[in-house]
Amino acid sequence: MNNELQLQVGPYRTTFVGTEIIRKSTKKEWENYGEILRRVDEAKQWAIGDWLSDGKSHYGDGLYEKAAEILGIEEQSLRRSAMLANQFELLHRCNNLSWTHYLQVSSIKTIETKNGKMFLSKNHDMKKAQEFLNRAEKEKLSVRDLRKIIEQYLIDQENICQLANEPKKYQVIYADPPWPVGSIEMEKWESPIEDKYPIMQIDEIKSLPIGNITGENCSLFLWTTHTFIHDALHIMDFWGFKYFCTITWDKGNGWTQNGFNKRTEFLLYGYKGKINIDQFGESIPTIIVEQKKEHSKKPDMIREMINNKVVGSKIELFARNKYEGWDSWGQEI
């Protein structure tokens, strides 16, 4: 093997034995070359994975032992590179995302049902992985941001299985789903990515096993926005609830789109069986005025009004905190 490998950009020329400084660099050139070196290291991971895939035809069961001998890399790391290369073929890889971005989504599995039980299978969920990768590219998510979102998604998958397999019957279901907000709404959020929850697609929200936890008579309070009212009504119907009325929350401020200032959100009320709302005492108003606080946090007074009007077990889905008298299931519990 000779010293022919060269990587030359601007004032730098790198060979097998080091980098030659051809001329004085600018600060920007120095930063750019550092980024290139990082991406070269990322490309090395893909190259090793593809090389291992080809090596199967030569070494079979002894592939990783031989590869470890050649590269001086532990077999566990080699298997990870090969796994990722096999999951994501060359044509499906994006130059704008790093190898580590792909590594983050490689652990996503499909949920399957067998004998009435939900469980995480061993099959990689390529469709969902690609969805997260598309989001990472579109929103320019760092590896750290994407990792945080994926970690929460994996927790949500476990929660969904638990919700389906260990059902308790409730008289109230209170839900604030992470609707799949579009890029326009995302740009208007002022909070950092750490404060944003992982979105769910409409079909994923719809497929939650809500029917397993509803009592004979059950009230559903479902938060939604202008964009997803139609979807929310459809989901309510799919879950087995009949729509009755809408509570409108005036947040005091909002954002403008196409000439409309959207300063309201909606809490749809539906019921299964018979309406189990107490007919006496102070009624639940259909208009609530309360200044918006942190992103996505809904007025606490809603939960208090439900406590006063409905007797029975209650659960909050996609909850941020636990509250006395409520079971909580969701993103930040």
- 271 Cβ contact partners less than 8 Å away, ≥ 6 residues apart: 217, 218, 219, 220, 241, 242, 244
Residue 92 within a domain: no
Based on the fold, state whether residues 191 and 280 are members of the same structural domain: yes
Nearest CA-CA partner of 260 in 290, 227, 282, 218: 227
Q: Each residue of 80-110: b (16+ CB within 10 Å) or e? A: bbbebbebbeeeeeeeebbbebbbbbeebbe
CATH number of the domain that 312 lies in? 3.40.50.150
Residue 158 within a domain: yes
Residue 305 within a domain: yes
Q: Is the pTM of this model over 0.85?
A: no
Residue 197 within a domain: yes
Helix (H) or strand (E) holding 215: strand 214-224
N residues, the chain: 333
pLDDT tens digits, the chain, 333 residues: what are they? 455 567 888 898 888 888 889 999 999 999 999 988 888 888 889 999 999 999 988 888 889 999 999 999 999 999 999 999 999 988 888 888 989 999 999 989 998 888 778 888 888 999 999 999 999 999 999 999 999 999 888 888 888 887 778 778 999 999 999 998 764 444 444 444 444 556 888 999 999 989 889 999 999 999 999 999 999 999 999 999 999 999 999 998 877 888 888 899 999 999 999 999 988 888 999 999 988 876 668 888 999 999 999 989 999 998 878 888 899 886 554
Residue 119 within a domain: yes
Based on the fold, state whether residues 149 and 39 are members of the same structural domain: no
List the domain range (segments joined by +) for residue 302.
167-329
Helix (H) or strand (E) holding 30: helix 27-59
Based on the fold, state whether residues 144 and 263 are members of the same structural domain: no
Based on the fold, state whether residues 195 and 249 are members of the same structural domain: yes
Residue 209 within a domain: yes
pLDDT at 183 (0 to 100): 42
Based on the fold, state whether residues 141 and 185 are members of the same structural domain: no
Based on the fold, state whether residues 104 and 248 are members of the same structural domain: no
Based on the fold, state whether residues 22 and 42 are members of the same structural domain: yes
- Measured CA to CA, the distance from residue 332 to residue 147 in angstroms comes to 15
Based on the fold, state whether residues 296 and 311 are members of the same structural domain: yes
Residue 246 within a domain: yes
Contact 234, 228 (CB under 8 A): no
Which residues of 145-198 form beta strands (DSSP E)?
170-175
Based on the fold, state whether residues 232 and 290 are members of the same structural domain: yes
Nearest CA-CA partner of 320 in 309, 312, 331, 310: 331
**Amino acid letter at 52?**
L
Domain tally for the chain? 3
Based on the fold, state whether residues 106 and 15 are members of the same structural domain: no
